[in-house]
Amino acid sequence: MRIHIATDHAGLEFSTQLQHHLAAAGHEVIDHGPVEFDPLDDYPAFCIRAAQAVVRDQAAGIEALGVVFGGSGNGEQIAANKVVGVRAALAWSIATAELAREHNDANVIAIGARQHTFDEASSFIDRFIATPFSGEERHARRIAQLAAYEQDGSLEPDPRATPGRPDVLDADDSSFDPEAG
């Protein structure tokens, strides 16, 4: 499988270890991160490029996933999720890594390199890569809803909307009263 990775300065040492680990497991690793340590570099462009490459490869029928990481993994996940077609999930355990693939068909995993040992983080990544999407109808339906919103802004109907009470997004004013409970 082709694995696109990206980080910033916070994950540069982790990146080198991870590239060796993934290559030893038989994966083709493409690094979109920095080439040298710069404590002032910024993760968005690195992570967005990795995410774009995942989407491009998948559209071309190439089996590919992404791994983005930094100090916490939060910003890297946010950056990757700006790319249309990416479903990036922050994983902090084996279970969250597995569920990201199994239920959400996530194609990018985000890891906090400063939050875990290398062995812990690499085990999350390995499980993410090894876990297939379940394909269950309820999960596929939800992913389709996300894709529809991403494509044209469409949402499922608001179940609270009734005649005389529009969808909260269509309302001109907010009827929410924080003191009413």
pLDDT in tens, 109-165: 999 999 999 999 999 999 999 999 999 999 999 999 999 999 999 999 888 877 777
pLDDT band, residue 177 (cuts 50/70/90): low
Residue of 23, 16, 24 whose CA lies nearest to 2: 23
Distances 31 to 34, 54, 62, 158 between C-alpha atoms, Å: 8, 12, 17, 42
Tokens 């710069």 found at: 38
**Is the pTM above the cut of 0.85?**
yes
pLDDT in tens, 55-81: 999 999 999 999 999 999 999 999 999
Residue of 77, 80, 73, 128 whose CA lies nearest to 105: 128
Query: Which tokens belong to 40?
Result: 């002032």
Q: Name the residues annotated as catalytic.
A: 76, 103
Residue of 54, 91, 52 whose CA lies nearest to 69: 91
